[in-house]
Amino acid sequence: MPAIKWTEIERQLDQMDKPELLALLHDVFKSSDTARTFLTLRVLGTDGGETLEKYRKRVVNQFFPPRGDGKLDLREARRSIREYQKTTGDLAGTID
């Protein structure tokens, strides 16, 4: 896929009417758990800490899984932390 600049996307979005934009956002919402979480947090504001706990478990499970030995996969733990930060924009939760 060729590199597309945001200005090109923005130009197309400006030409869309409200029903088209809502349909597009609905498709994005259905596309992945990360997109669903992102839209939920940005539109509704909060989810009661569920997202932080989900990502915290992903990090902790790399080192202390409920059963067996941990994988000690620091790369996966860092990936989860970055994904949380990008999804929520919550600096305090990212540090936690």
* 11 pLDDT higher than 80: yes
Domain limits, the chain:
6-95
CB 28 within 8 A of CB 39: yes
SS3 71: coil
Q: Which residues contact 25 (CB under 8 A, 6 or more apart)?
A: 39
Q: What is the pTM of this model?
A: 0.61
- Measured CA to CA, the distance from residue 13 to residue 81 in angstroms comes to 31
Q: Which residues contact 93 (CB under 8 A, 6 or more apart)?
A: 51, 52, 84
CB 52 within 8 A of CB 93: yes
- In tens, the pLDDT along 20-62 reads 999 999 999 999 888 888 888 888 877 667 888 888 888 888 8
